[in-house]
């Protein structure tokens, strides 16, 4: 069987520890993004913590 094209990964906020699950391509590197953090009410850097699962799509 072929490998899945997408991965579901867990992102963690560096500001408050808030966590969020997003989808990314398998071939991309570790994900880092500026996203709105509801706990501190501002945009903060979210960094990939771990892979949750693969998605066939």
What local confidence, expressed as pLDDT, does residue 12 receive? 98
Q: Is residue 24 part of a domain?
A: yes
Adjacent-strand bridge partners of 21: 10
φ/ψ bin of 34: left (φ > 0), alpha (ψ from -120 to 50), beta (otherwise): beta
**Domain range enclosing 37:** 6-55
Output the CA angle 17-21-24, nearest 5 degrees. Answer: 125
Q: Is residue 45 part of a domain?
A: yes
Between CA 26 and CA 7 the distance in angstroms is 6
Q: Is residue 28 part of a domain?
A: yes
- What total of structural domains would you count in the chain? 1
In CATH, what number is assigned to the domain containing residue 26? Answer: 2.20.28.120
pLDDT (tens digit, 0 to 9) for every residue of the chain, 57 residues total?
Answer: 788 899 999 999 999 999 999 999 999 999 999 999 999 999 999 999 999 988 776
Q: Is residue 1 part of a domain?
A: no
């Amino acid at each position: 069987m072929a490998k899945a094209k997408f991965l579901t990964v867990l992102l963690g906020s560096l500001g408050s520890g808030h966590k969020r699950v997003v989808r990314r391509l398998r071939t991309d590197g570790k994900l880092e993004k500026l996203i709105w953090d509801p706990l501190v009410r501002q945009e903060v850097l979210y960094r990939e913590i771990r892979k949750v699962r693969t998605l066939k799509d």
